[in-house]
Amino acid sequence: MEDTDVSARNTRVALTVNKGIGYLTDEEMLSYFSPKVVWQIGHSRYEGPEGVLGIHHVAQLAYPGGAQRPVRSVLADDVRVMVQHVNKARTNKGVDYDNEYVKIFEFDTEGKIVAVWEYMDSLYASTAFNVLEIGGATPDTAPAPLPLSVDEVLTTTPAVRQRLDFDRPVSRSLVEECLRLAFQAPNGSNVQDWGWVLVDDPDVRAKLADIYRKGLQDHLNRDRSGEAPDTLPSDERMSKSVQYLVANMQRVPVLIVPTVARRYGGTTTFQQASRWGSILPAVWSFHLALRSRGLGSAWTTLHLYREEEAAELLGIPHDEQTQAGLFPVAYTLGTDFHAADRSRSEQRIGWNCWNG
């Protein structure tokens, strides 16, 4: 057989398979593959007939109404066929998905596919599907850092509440990666006497969310007699957003409670500043690391009205450790965030003299 015949035959197979993912019968699908096939999507490997059918079935679940894959270009030699195509579908999350793909199919001499390398905008793909409904079949790969400059990360890391993706699992390794970045933050004498309680157990998350809800009630019912009157009008949008998080805290994939050693009510300003300064820089670095990877959080302190209850739930020795807050961690729905209005802060700059 001439090379051109081989590449034409392989091209036919590649296009049939590409169009047929999610549509062909399992038997038909497998008939095009070598039993030794390896299908690589980003960093995830799917091996053998089981791997192929796994991908085939995930496509059926992810695109309940089917998917269109118009081909943009094809390049073929006698071993490989590269198909550049679009993938358009309404996903199982109700999202209109429209992503660019490149698949490279490699063939054995019998004309069976022995390898597939698949490339797409995987961050976008992973926000478009309801992964839990698919059964967690989507591989747990850490997303590549977003292409954001340092200034963009510093100016577009907001309190995220209504754009937390409750359906997309967050891997433990990703949270730990962000924490490792946060550990580089300054802390008093480099003692690192902080603790990080990471909660992904649904029961514990539900209990912590209840404590948070009660904390908000405590806050609303607090004795305000010693407080200065509010000088700013209440912000309707923010309170709607706060309410949303209160109602949904238990749905956030990971809840984090950082702690710092010792208790320091009634101590000197030096001691207090040194203690808070030994945990809060790391907490903020953690937020920035999350943002850089397409995740988000909201700084919250309301549960501290019930700090002791949370300590008991999480096994934190309350007499020896102070909790710094409660931080919900999830992928964000979309990654476009804008700088907040901090214009009032301009008037707070005082050179050589305090300007309050």
Ligand X SMILES: Cc1cc2nc3c(=O)[nH]c(=O)nc-3n(C[C@H](O)[C@H](O)[C@H](O)COP(=O)(O)O)c2cc1C
Residue 40 vs 301, nearer CB to ligand X:
301
CA dihedral over 256, 257, 260, 261, signed as positive or negative: negative
Q: CB-based contacts of 117: which residues, under 8 Å, 6+ apart? A: 40, 103, 104
Residue 140 vs 308, nearer CB to ligand X:
308
How many residues make contact with ligand X (CB under 6 A)?
Answer: 11
State yes or no: residue 248 binds ligand X (CB under 6 A).
no
CA dihedral over 155, 158, 164, 168, signed as positive or negative: positive
Residue 81 vs 324, nearer CB to ligand X:
324
**Cβ 253 vs Cβ 329: under 8 Å:** yes
Binder to ligand X among 62, 245, 295, 330 (CB under 6 A)?
245
Tell me the per-residue interface mask from 17 to 56 with ligand X, x by CB under 6 A, - otherwise: ----------------------------------------
Longest dimension (CA), the chain: 92
29, 30, 36, 40: CA torsion to nearest 10: 20
CA 249, CA 244: separation in Å to the nearest integer? 8
Residue type, 290: L
State yes or no: residue 340 binds ligand X (CB under 6 A).
yes
Q: Where is 194: in which H helix or E strand? A: strand 194-199
Residue 92 vs 250, nearer CB to ligand X:
250
Tell me the per-residue interface mask from 131 to 170 with ligand X, x by CB under 6 A, - otherwise: ---------------------------xx-----------
131, 132, 137, 143: CA torsion to nearest 10: 50
Give min distance, CB of 305 to ligand X, in A.
10
280-339 positions binding ligand X, by CB under 6 A: 298-302
Give min distance, CB of 267 to ligand X, in A.
19
State yes or no: residue 191 binds ligand X (CB under 6 A).
no
For the beta carbon of residue 73, count every other beta carbon within 10 angstroms. Answer: 9
Q: Which residues bind ligand X (CB under 6 A)?
A: 158-159, 238, 242, 245, 298-302, 340
